[in-house]
Amino acid sequence: MFEFLLDPRYYPDILQGLSLTIEITLFGVALGLLLGTLLAIGDIYGGKLVRGAIAVYVEFFRGSPLFVQLFIAVYTVPAILNMRIDHYVLAFLVFGLNSAGYQKGYIKGAMQTIFDDQMAAGLSVGMSKLQTLRYVIMPQAYRIVIPSWTNEFCSLTKSTSVLSFVGLLDLVGAGRTIIFGTMEVLPVWFIIGLIYLVWITGFSKLMDIIYEKKKIPGVELAMQS
Amino acid sequence: MTEYVMEAKNVYKSYCIKGEEKEESKLVEAVKDVSLQIRKGDIKLIFGPSGSGKSTFLRCMAMLDIPDKGEIYLGGECLTAKGVDLNRARARIGFVFQHIYLFRHLTALGNVELALRQVLKLPKAEARKRAMDALAEVKITECASKYPSQMSGGQAQRVGIARAIARNPDIILLDEPTSALDPELTGEVIDTLRDLAKEGTTMLIVSHEMPFAKEVAEEMIFYDEGHIVETGPPSLFFNAPNTDRAKQFMTRIINRTTRE
């Protein structure tokens, strides 16, 4: 049943699949963080038009399946731009844009728990709004958001299984290849599932450690109140 | 060049309290035609019933709330004029909040240091030295490496004062600096303010600490329903205020103080 584990021919597929899953997830969460922060700030400061546009953006990325978004990107964007774009790059962008839709909510929520008093305090010492965001609001908001990032990371990691639909070899794609070669179905998925589990558990533990290390007395109190 | 450090001219400010239903929302006229002048070294104390708009007026003075009408002057500069760099103006005003509002992710030292680094652009060593000096002035250097949540309310508020004075502002505005503290902690904050008063610091204080007011204030300002009802030296208010409203308020507050 599990003889394929001893067959070195399949190792490169598994390794390549795992590294694609990890890369797309980490890049996606990072791009999502950057865009999510901009969206959160735009939602707080923007006028009606900006806030409306952000709402449409968020509803699109949260309300439609990731694999539909990926298909749209892969089959329309290169045609519209009339250029060849690597599926890998498109997948990274889609994951980032998708994650931004979720992260905007987490970041804005965290900012709002501390915003009024900390902004007033920042302005009162002569800092600009931008300086106060940079040195006071965001450092606290990001700390509060760490547990939500862990969730976001878990969910994106598992979502990478859609990558095989557009011809990218992620872990699920690797599993398919092995099944094709061995005709073992359940054992292969079992092992693939186990790899996800180990990686996600390990990374979540790492995030917990970072959260504890970065925790500032009083900052998480603000989240509860 | 004007003789005043700060001046408010016919300032108006109202805000809307949003209710559940549209009809429940109401407009609060917190500041109605308030004018006030402060000279260098003045210590003025604003007092009056809660909800009368004292805090809103003080926030307008610091341009943390922008007045609807009227002018605020800092030195000769009109802060309510268009195109004024408010950040630069606020850097010359110290503000102490009722609920303290320290930066929660920074230590006491970090709280004082931040503006010295980012606003005054001092080099690291100099900013650190000035921040430590400010903490020493409020006698709280032992808390330098503590976070806000690790300090008592009195300690935190003294750090708040250190943060306000570290830039050597032209004036310090204090919004009920002791009223959010436990009664046994107000003493240490009052002592700090007393020290600042002795050094000739220009201050506008919203407070109900009457013994303190009697001791340091040159002028007391009775504020009710969005405007200044009566002003005068402490002796006026403690003996015989001219208006009935001030009389009633003083009777209530003095009875309360003696009962404690």
ipTM: 0.92
This prediction has a pTM of: 0.88
Supply the DSSP string of B151-190, one letter for each residue. S-HHHHHHHHHHHHHTT--SEEEEESTTTTS-HHHHHHHH
Distance from CA of B95 to the nearest CA of A (A): 6
**A181 Cβ contact partners less than 8 Å away, ≥ 6 residues apart:** A4, A9, A10
Residue environment code for A124-159, b if the CB has 16+ CB neighbours within 10 A, otherwise e: bbbbbeebbbebbbbbbbbbbbbbbbbebbbebbeb
Question: CA A190 to CA A20: how far, in whole Å?
Answer: 19
Question: CA B167 to CA A125: how far, in whole Å?
Answer: 8
Distance from CA of A145 to the nearest CA of B (A): 14
Question: CA A76 to CA A70: how far, in whole Å?
Answer: 10
pLDDT digits (tens, 9 = 90+) for B121-130: 999 999 999 9
Which phi and psi (to 5°) does residue B176 adopt?
40, 65
A118 and B167 within 8 Å at the Cβ level: the answer is no
Which residues in chain A touch residue B167, judged by CB atoms under 8 angstroms apart? 125-126
B114 and A127 within 8 Å at the Cβ level: the answer is yes
> Given A124, A127, A139, which is nearest B105 (Cβ)?
A139
Residue A11's identity, in one-letter code, is Y
Percentage of residues in chain A having pLDDT higher than 70: 96
A19 has a pLDDT exceeding 80: yes
Which of B104, B121, B150, B171 to substitute to test the interface with A, most A CBs within 10 Å? B104
Q: Which two tokens stand for residue B20?
A: 């559940």
Q: How far is CA A187 from the centre of its chain?
A: 29
Which residue numbers of B have CB closer than 8 Å to A's CBs? 62, 64, 87-88, 90-95, 97, 99, 101-105, 114-115, 118-119, 147-150, 163-164, 167
Which residues in chain B touch residue A135, judged by CB atoms under 8 angstroms apart? 114, 118
Which of A115, A125, A223 to substitute to test the interface with B, most B CBs within 10 Å? A125
A125 and B92 within 8 Å at the Cβ level: the answer is no
When pLDDT is averaged across residues A179-186 and rounded to a whole number, the result is 88
In a 3-state reduction of DSSP, which class is residue A125?
coil
When pLDDT is averaged across residues A139-147 and rounded to a whole number, the result is 93
Provide the pLDDT confidence category of residue A167 given band limits of 50, 70 and 90: confident
B45 and B220 Cβ atoms separated by less than 8 Å? yes
C-alpha distance from residue B3 to each of A192, B7, B218 (Å): 79, 10, 17
Which residues in chain A touch residue B97, judged by CB atoms under 8 angstroms apart? 117, 120-121, 124
Chain B residue with Cα closest to A128: B87
When pLDDT is averaged across residues B32-60 and rounded to a whole number, the result is 94
Q: Which two tokens stand for residue A221?
A: 């109190």
B96 has a pLDDT exceeding 90: yes
When pLDDT is averaged across residues B51-59 and rounded to a whole number, the result is 93
Which phi and psi (to 5°) does residue B229 adopt?
-90, -45
Question: CA A104 to CA A115: how far, in whole Å?
Answer: 15
Which residues in chain A touch residue B62, judged by CB atoms under 8 angstroms apart? 124
Provide the pLDDT confidence category of residue A218 given band limits of 50, 70 and 90: low
pLDDT at B254: 78
pLDDT at A223: 45
H-only helix segments in A64-86 = 66-81
B136 and B192 Cβ atoms separated by less than 8 Å? no
Beta bridge partner(s), residue B13? B31
Which of B15, B88, B97, B103 to substitute to test the interface with A, most A CBs within 10 Å? B103
B114 and A125 within 8 Å at the Cβ level: the answer is yes
B65 and B59 Cβ atoms separated by less than 8 Å? yes
Sign of the torsion angle spanned by Cα atoms A117, A119, A123, A127: positive
B101 and A218 within 8 Å at the Cβ level: the answer is no
**Average pLDDT value over all residues in chain A:** 91
Which residue numbers of A have CB closer than 8 Å to B's CBs? 114, 117-118, 120-128, 131, 135-136, 139-140, 143, 216-219, 221-222
B255 has a pLDDT exceeding 70: yes
A28 has a pLDDT exceeding 70: yes
